[in-house]
Amino acid sequence: MSVLSPFERFSTAPAKTGLYDPALDKDACGLAMVATLRGTAGHDIIDTALTALTNLEHRGAVGSDAGTGDGAGILTQIPDTFLRAVAGFELPEAGYYAAGLVFLPTDADEAARAKAGFENIAAEENLTVLGWREVPVRPEVLGDLAREAQPTIEQVFVGTPDNITGIELERRAFRLRKRSERQLGIYHPSLSSRTIVYKGMVTTLQLEPFYPDLSDERFASTLALVHSRFSTNTFPSWPLAHPFRMIAHNGEINTVKGNRNWMRAREAQLASDVLGDLKQLSPIITPSGSDSASFDEVVELLYLAGRSLPHAMMMMIPEAWEKQTDIEPARKNFYDYHSMLMEPWDGPAAVIFTDGSLVGATLDRNGLRPGRYVITDDGLVVLASEIGVVNIDPAKIVRKGRLQPGRMFIADTVSGRLIDDDEIKSEIAAQEPWGEWLEQNRIRLEELPEREHINHSASSVNRRQRTFGYTTEDLRVLLAPMAKTGAEPVGAMGSDTPIAAISNRPRVLFDYFVQQFAQVTNPPLDSIREEVVTSLSTSIGPEGNLLKATPQSAQQISLSFPVLSNDDVSKIKHIDEKPGLGTAFTVEGLYRVDGGAEALAARIREIFEEVDQAIAENAKYLILSDRDSNRELAPIPSLLLTSAVHHHLIRTGQRTKVGLVIEAGDVREVHHVAALIGYGAAAVNPYLAMESCEQMVKDGLIEGISIEKASKNLIKGLGKGVLKIMSKMGISTVSSYSGAQVFEAIGLSQEFVDTYFTGTVSQLGGIGIEVIAEENAARHRSAYPIDEAANVHQELEVGGEYSWRREGPSHLFNPETIFKLQHSTRTKSMEIFRDYTRAIDEQAENLMTLRGLFTLRNGVRPAIDIEEVEPISEIVKRFSTGAMSYGSISKEAHETLAIAMNRLGAKSNTGEGGEDVERLLDPTRRSAIKQVASGRFGVTSMYLTHADDIQIKMAQGAKPGEGGQLPPNKVYPWIARTRHSTAGVGLISPPPHHDIYSIEDLKQLIFDVKRANRAARVHVKLVSQVGIGTVAAGVAKAKADVILVSGFDGGTGASPLNSLKHAGTPWELGLAEAQQTLMLNGLRDRVTVQVDGQMKTGRDVIVAALLGAEEYGFATAPLVVEGCIMMRVCNLDTCPVGVATQNPTLRARFTGQADHVVNFFEFLAQEVREYLAALGFRTLEEAIGHSELLDMNRAISHWKADGLDLSPILAGPAFGPNESRVRATSQDHELEKHFDHKLISAAQAALTEGKPVVIDLPITNVDQAVGTMLGNELTKAFGAEALPEGTITVNLTGAAGQSFGAFVPKGIKLALSGDSNDYVGKGLSGGTIVVKPHSNSPFLAEENIIAGNVIGYGATSGHMFLRGIVGERFLVRNSGVEAVTEGVGDHALEYMTGGVAVILGRTGRNLGAGMSGGVAYVYKLRGDRVNHESLAAGELSLGALEAADATKLKSLLERHLQETGSAVAERILGNWEEELAHFVRVLPRDYAAVLSIREKAIAGGVDPDSESVWSEILEVTRG
C-alpha cells in the first residue's frame, strides 16, 4: 500500500486539475537567526527571534483569507528545562533523549494507529518511546483555511535502552523519523536530541500565540532560526513551513529537478557504516516536498553520514570558485574534487543552518538574497534578511555586516565565538589531500592522445543533412553566422509559425520541448556581465559513493566546455587504448526504419540491455552515437536516446556509474545542445553541424575564415548559447544544468513523456512514439529518395521558420495578410479587413495556433441583436499597444501609435525607453502605460507620476529571461536624451531586475511604484510558461493590480533565435492556467488580467475574453498597419519603411498614420461586437471567463493534433456560478498606512508654497519606500527639478526599510542616522540621501555595513552620501547620481551609464561590468577586482585622475564629510595631495570619447547633435 506523502497529507492544495499543478508552487521569504555567544541558554533568544520574525511580516504573504499566512516557524535548541517540566513523565538526562513535534491525522483512530506504528519502528531502531505530550495550541488565532488543514499536533520523546547520546542518537532518531514518514505518512517537523522545530500555517504574528509553549519563560536556547514564508499559492501546507530540520531557506533552487534525480540515481550507491541500511530510508528525498525541503533532506544525510555541517553546505552551495583568481589552492581543490561528487544546488539562496550548537548562514554564488547581521558587545548575534528587525541600542552594537556571495558566516554557541569564512573553509579544505587525489586520478581531455581529423565528402554531408532534416535555412541562418562569428544569431519580430505540436510538417523532437525561464520567483542571470560566477566546465565519468570520499572519485574526464569537437569525442571513444583510464562504450543509436515505431521502441529496449551489459563490464563512458545511419538504419532522435538512457540508468540505479557523451547529427542549434544537457548529457558533439560548417567554408559560402576557425566558432557559439539558456533559468553551472530538465513538453503524450522523459510536464498531451517514428522516417526517406533526379536541384528543404517561404511553414503574417491589413486600414474598408481576418482565422483553423482549434459555441445562449451590444467606443478602451520602446522603433512610429490610442481612449505603452517630458505632458502624444523594465531607462518620479498604468516587465514573450541591448549606432542623440544616457554609447537592459530576485522583492517594487503614483494601476507582465498560474497567484498576493500574460511568440527588436522559437508557450495556455489558478486561490476578483502575443483579429479577442482576459494588447498588427512589412531586421537599424529604425533617411519613409491605427482598432471592436451578439452577450465584461462557450470537439483530423487534449485549457476545475471570473474589487494597497503621510502633512508649507521645512522622525525597517510618496506629491505640485535642493529636509533615526528614498525628486533631502536596507535611492530623481551610523555607534563606520544591496538602481540624478560599506551591485544602472560610499560588495557600478561614484574603501569582485558611462573614483582600487572582460577589451580604462576629476572628487568628499562626518573623508582631505594619488579613475572608453567629441563641437560652435558630429561619434564608438 502506498503511503501518502506527509507534504500532501497536511495540505489543502487541490490535486492537479485543469492546468493547475501543485508541483509548480513556489515560495520565498524572509528569515532570521539569533544566537548568543555568552554560553548560556535563555528565553531572551526566543523572544528576540520572535520579534525579528514579527518585523519580517512584510516579506511573507497572506492569501485570499486574510488570517491565513503562508507559514512561519522557529527552530531552537531542545529546551530541556521546559520540556522536563511539561512532559508529564520522567525524561533522561539532557542529550539522552530526542524530542520533536509530530503532525498526526486529525482522526483519533488514525492518529492512534500512527502512534502505535511509530512505537514499533522505534523499537526496531533500538529506541524507546518515552511518552507523548499533547502540544497546547490555540487554533482560534488562525485563519479559516489554516485551521481546516491543521493536523493534530503532539510531541514525542524517545530514549535509548543503551544510553546513546550525541550524533549516534541523532542517527537513530533520523532513521526512526524517516521510516515513520515513509511508512506511516505522518510528519515530524523535527526529532532530535539537540534541536526542535515549531512551525505551521501561521502568519509571523500568529506563531507565538498559536504555540503557547514559545511564550514560556522556561523555554530557553542559545540559538534560534525563524522564517516567514511567501508562497505563490494560498493553500495551507503545514509541513512546508520552515525551518526544516537543519535549515531555513530564502530563495529558490532552480536545478531542484535535476538535483532530485541525481540524488535518486546515487541512492543505489549510497553506503554508510554509521547510518545502517539506507534502503529502508529511501527515497532520501520525500516526494512532493518543496525545493527547501529536499535541500534539507540532503544536507541532513551528508551531515549524519559524517561530514560537518559547513562541509555539507560547501558541497551543496559552493562559492563561485571556478574563475576566482585569489582563492587558496587547497580550497579550490576541495571544491574541484567535490564537484565530482555532487553538482551544485543552484539558485538564489540565503540559507541559515544549525546542528544545535553551530549556527551559520551562507549565500549562493551570485549573492542574490540579502543577509545582514549585527553583533553586540554582550555576544548577541542577529542575522536576518533585513537590518533593523530587532531593536538594539546602537551603543551596544560592535559590528554590522552582511552575508556575501558564496561566503559563510558561523557562530559557535559552545565555544562562544564567531568563525569566519576563511577559517572554517581552510580547515575543511585541509582535511584531505584533495589536490593530490585530483592530480593522480583526474583525466584531462588534452592529455589524451590526439586523433587524426576525418574529412567527409560533400555528398556524404548532404545525405546526412537530409537524414536529420536540415534545411537551407538552418545552414544560412543558424550555422553560417555561428561559424562566422562564434555567437548565436539574432532575429526580430517574434515567431508566427505553428508550434511543433500542431505543425503539419515533420519536426525534430527538440522542437516539442520548450525552455523554462526564471520569472518573478527567481531571477535570470547575466551570463555576460556576470560571467565570473558561471561555469561551463564539467566532468564525465563514474561517481563514487557520495557518503565516502575516496581518491578514486576523482577519476573522471574533466572538460572545460560542454560542446565537443569531432576529434575530442574521438579521443574519448578511444580512451581504453590508454590503460587504466577505464573504457568507453559506443551505443549505436540506430534502428530499422522500416520497422516503424515498434522497431524504434524495441531498439531502445535493446540499447538498455547493451548499456547494462557494458556497465557490468566496467564501461565508464557511454557515447550515444547516431553516426552510422544508412538506407536501412535511421538515427534515433538524439534527445529521445539520451533521455531514455539517462532515465533508464536512474531507474536502475546505475546512472552515476557512467558519464554520458552524445555524438549527435541532429544538433544544429543552441536549443538542441541545451536540451540534451538538460536531459542528462555531460557533453555533446554536434558532428554534422561541424561537418556542415566545414563544407560551407570549402564551398565558399562562409568566407574569410579557415575551417579550423569556423569549427571553433561553432563550438564556442553553441556553448556560450547554452550558458545563456541556463542563465535564463538562473542556473550558473553546467554541471547542475545537466539533467535539470528545465523544459516543458508541448504536444507530446503523457505516456511518451513518462516513459522517456520522466518528470517532464506535458499539459496538453499529444503525439507518441508512433508519430515521432513517422516524422523520422519522412526525413530518412528524403535522404534516400527512390530517384534523385526528381528533385535534383533541391539540395535541402528550404526551411522558412525565420523568413517566410512558400514551401515552408505557414506564417500568420504573410504577403497576403500583410497586404490586406494595410490596405483595409488605409482605405478604411471593413470589407477588406474581413478578408484579412478571415485569412488569419482560416490559417489559424488550419492548425496555426491553439486558439484556431477552438470553435465558438453560438446558440448556447440566445443570440442578440448587434444593436444591443455595447458600442465600439467601449470595447476599444480595453485595447492597448505593446511595449515598444522609443529607440527600438522610430519617433514617428511610436507617436503615431500613441496619438491613435489616445484618440480612441485606449492605451499605448512607452516601452522601456522612457518618455520625453514634452511628450509626457502632451495629452495627445503621451503614452498612458509607462513601462518599468530592468534597464529602468527614463524611470523618474516625473515619469511615474504621469502614468495611468505602470507596467513592470518581468519578462518579454520573444525572449523571456533575457535582457536587451541597444547597440551604439541606434543610440542617436535624441534617444540618449530620453534615456538619460550618452549618444553613440550602447545601452544594456540586464536580464533581471536587480531589485527583483524573488516574489517578495516584486512585492516591494509594486509597493514602491504604487507610492510613486497612488492613482496608477500597477501591471506585472509575465510570459506564458508552465507554472505561470502559481506565479500569477503570487503576483496577485504581491498586490499587482493587473497581470499581463504574454505569449511566447510576441515581437521584439532583437532576440537570439533560440528564444524566439523555444522559450515560453502560447498565451492560450498561460492565460487559462493563470485564470484557473487565480480562481482556485480565490484571488481572481482583485486583479485585472490582460493578454497579448500575436493577437490579430476579433476572434483572437473573443477567445482571450472567454479564457478570462479583460484587456488585450496588440503590437505587431498595429505596426503592420503603420507600414511594417515584417522585414525582421529591427536589430540592424535598416528598416526600409521607417518603423524600427532611427536612421533619419529611413524614418523619412515612414507612411503610417494615426487614422489607420484607429481604423484597425475600430474594425477589431466591430468584429468583437459581432461575435458578442452571436454568443448572446451585451458586453465584453459578461463574456469574460466563460470558457464553456469554447468548443474543441470540432473534429481534429490532423495526424498530429489527434492526440492533443485541449480540455485542460477549457475545462479546468469546477467553479461555482458566483465565483468571480473578472476583477470585482481592488487590491488593498494599505496606502493610508504609509510612513510618508507623516512627512506630507509636516511638509505642507513646502508642497504648497515651496518654503523650506525640516522634519525629524524615528524610523524602523517596516517603514519601506520612505520619501517616495512625498516625492510624488512634490512632483505633482512642481514638476521635475523645480525646487532647490534640500527644500524639504527629513532627518530620520533608526533602521530604514527597503527602498529608502526611492524615486525621490530634487528638493527633498533624506538624512538617516542608523542604517538602511536594500534598494536605497532606487530611481533617485534628483533628491539627496544621506545615511550615517547612529551617533552612539561605537564601531568604525568604514568597517561596517551601512546599507544593503542594489543601491541607486536606475537612479537618474541626485546625490547620495553613505558613511560605511554597502552591499552588492552598488549604483547598478545609475545614469546620473553622484554618490559616495566607503566600501562596496561585488558587481559594483554594473551597467552604469552616467553619474559619479566615489568609493573610499574595499571593493568586491567584478566592478564595472557592463559599465558604459559615468566615472568612478576608487580608493586603492585593485585591478583584479574590475570586470576582466571590459578591461581586456579596453572598454574600461583605469588611470590617474585628471585635474577636473580631482576637483570633482574633492568637492564630493567635502560634502560627504559635511553630511556624514566621515572619518575617512576627513583623513583623505587632511592629506589631500598624497591621498589623491591613491585614487584610481574608472572611465568607460566610448563614453569618454563621445563626451570629448561633443564638448569639442560645442566649443567650436557646432551643434553636438548634428549629423557630422554623429558620424564622428559612430566612427569612434564602433571601434
Nearest alpha-carbon partner for 402 in 1297, 1344, 1042: 1344
Nearest alpha-carbon partner for 308 in 350, 265, 367, 246: 246
Name residues whose C-beta falls within 8 Å of residue 872's C-beta, 6 or more positions apart in sequence: 1162, 1165, 1166, 1169
User: Which member of 813, 1112, 1171, 1479 binds another protein (CB under 8 A)?
Assistant: 813
Closest to another protein by CB, 1282 vs 1514, is 1514
> Is 29 a known active-site residue?
yes
Q: How far is the CB of 665 from another protein (least distance, A)?
A: 22
Q: How far is the CB of 711 from another protein (least distance, A)?
A: 21
Q: Is 90 in the site for another protein (CB under 8 A)?
A: no
Selected range binding another protein among 291-299, 801-809, 862-870, 1185-1193, rule: CB under 8 A: 801-809
The two most distant CA atoms of the chain are separated, in Å, by: 96
User: Which member of 62, 87, 91, 1127 binds another protein (CB under 8 A)?
Assistant: 1127
Selected range binding another protein among 528-536, 685-693, 752-760, 811-819, rule: CB under 8 A: 811-819
Q: Is 838 in the site for another protein (CB under 8 A)?
A: no
Handedness of CA 977, 978, 984, 986 (dihedral sign): positive
Q: How far is the CB of 530 from another protein (least distance, A)?
A: 31
Q: How far is the CB of 827 from another protein (least distance, A)?
A: 9
Selected range binding another protein among 542-550, 561-569, 646-654, 1128-1136, rule: CB under 8 A: 1128-1136
Which value, to the nearest 10 degrees, does the dihedral of the CA atoms of residues 562, 568, 574, 577 take? -110
Name residues whose C-beta falls within 8 Å of residue 731's C-beta, 6 or more positions apart in sequence: 254, 255, 346, 347, 525, 737, 740, 742
Name residues whose C-beta falls within 8 Å of residue 682's C-beta, 6 or more positions apart in sequence: 538, 539, 540, 559, 562, 659, 660, 661, 738
Regarding beta strands 659-663 and 683-685, do their DSSP bridges make them parallel or antiparallel, or are they unpaired? Answer: parallel
Q: Is 1144 in the site for another protein (CB under 8 A)?
A: no
Q: Is 1507 in the site for another protein (CB under 8 A)?
A: no
User: Which member of 814, 1153, 1179, 1291 binds another protein (CB under 8 A)?
Assistant: 814
What are the distances in angstroms from CA 344 to CA 89, 313, 338, 548, 978? 45, 10, 10, 18, 43
Regarding beta strands 1345-1347 and 1325-1332, do their DSSP bridges make them parallel or antiparallel, or are they unpaired? Answer: unpaired
Closest to another protein by CB, 946 vs 1096, is 1096
3-state secondary structure of 761: strand
Q: How far is the CB of 1138 from another protein (least distance, A)?
A: 9
The cell for 669 is: 542549434
Angle 757-762-763 (CA atoms, 0-180°, nearest 5)?
165
Closest to another protein by CB, 473 vs 488, is 473
Angle 1012-1017-1023 (CA atoms, 0-180°, nearest 5)?
110
Angle between helices 638-651 and 256-267 (to 10 degrees): 50
Contact flags string 672-711 toward another protein, x per CB under 8 A: ---------------------------xxx-x--------
Selected range binding another protein among 644-652, 818-826, 867-875, 1327-1335, rule: CB under 8 A: 818-826
User: Which member of 459, 793, 1197, 1249 binds another protein (CB under 8 A)?
Assistant: 793
Kind plus residue range of the DSSP H or E element containing 1418: strand 1413-1419
Q: Is 485 in the site for another protein (CB under 8 A)?
A: no
Q: Is 1455 in the site for another protein (CB under 8 A)?
A: no
Closest to another protein by CB, 395 vs 778, is 778
Closest to another protein by CB, 701 vs 872, is 701
754-767: b (≥16 Cβ within 10 Å) or e: ebbbbebbbbbbbb
Q: How far is the CB of 1055 from another protein (least distance, A)?
A: 13
Q: How far is the CB of 693 from another protein (least distance, A)?
A: 16
Q: Is 166 in the site for another protein (CB under 8 A)?
A: no
Selected range binding another protein among 390-398, 749-757, 1129-1137, 1276-1284, rule: CB under 8 A: 1129-1137
Selected range binding another protein among 207-215, 505-513, 797-805, 1395-1403, rule: CB under 8 A: 797-805
Contact flags string 449-478 toward another protein, x per CB under 8 A: -----------------------x---x--
Closest to another protein by CB, 489 vs 1294, is 489
Name residues whose C-beta falls within 8 Å of residue 438's C-beta, 6 or more positions apart in sequence: 333, 336, 337, 554
The cell for 1048 is: 511566447
Closest to another protein by CB, 264 vs 823, is 823
The burial class, CB within 10 Å (0-12 / 13-18 / 19+), for 1500 is exposed
Size of site (CB under 8 A) for another protein: 48
DSSP 479: I
Q: Kindly report the backbone phi and psi dihedral angles of residue 236, in degrees, each rounded to the nearest multiple of 5, phi listed first.
A: -60, 135
User: Which member of 215, 552, 794, 1451 binds another protein (CB under 8 A)?
Assistant: 794
Q: Is 802 in the site for another protein (CB under 8 A)?
A: yes
Q: Is 798 in the site for another protein (CB under 8 A)?
A: yes
What are the distances in angstroms from CA 61 to CA 564, 567, 672, 1287? 47, 55, 39, 37
Which of the residues 857 through 876 are near another protein (CB under 8 A)? none
CA 172 remoteness from chain centre: 39
The cell for 344 is: 551544485
Q: Is 1444 in the site for another protein (CB under 8 A)?
A: no
Cis-peptide, bond into residue 243, ω within 30° of zero: yes
Residue with cell 528545465: 742
Which of the residues 489 through 508 are near another protein (CB under 8 A)? 492-493
Closest to another protein by CB, 329 vs 785, is 785
User: Which member of 323, 463, 861, 1149 binds another protein (CB under 8 A)?
Assistant: 1149
DSSP 478: I
Residue with cell 565519468: 541
Nearest alpha-carbon partner for 56 in 390, 406, 410: 390
SS (H, E, C) 146-185: HHHCCCEEEEEEEECCCCCCHHHHHHHHHHHHHHHHHHHC
User: Which member of 789, 1214, 1432, 1499 binds another protein (CB under 8 A)?
Assistant: 789
What is the distance between the alpha carbons of residues 1476 and 1452, in angstroms, rounded to a whole number? 13
Q: Is 818 in the site for another protein (CB under 8 A)?
A: yes
- Residue of 29, 693, 1130, 1135 marked catalytic: 29
Which of the residues 758 through 787 are near another protein (CB under 8 A)? 782, 785-787
Closest to another protein by CB, 755 vs 814, is 814
Selected range binding another protein among 203-211, 570-578, 1042-1050, 1124-1132, rule: CB under 8 A: 1124-1132
Closest to another protein by CB, 121 vs 1119, is 1119
Angle 1378-1380-1382 (CA atoms, 0-180°, nearest 5)?
160
Closest to another protein by CB, 473 vs 1445, is 473
Q: Is 1132 in the site for another protein (CB under 8 A)?
A: yes
Kind plus residue range of the DSSP H or E element containing 1331: strand 1325-1332
User: Which member of 457, 485, 613, 791 binds another protein (CB under 8 A)?
Assistant: 791
Closest to another protein by CB, 344 vs 1051, is 1051
49 touches 30 (CB < 8 A): no
Q: Is 807 in the site for another protein (CB under 8 A)?
A: yes
| Chain positions contacting another protein, by CB under 8 A | 472, 476, 492-493, 699-701, 703, 782, 785-795, 798, 802-807, 811, 813-816, 818-819, 823, 832, 1125-1129, 1132, 1134, 1136-1137, 1145-1146, 1149
Catalytic residues: 29
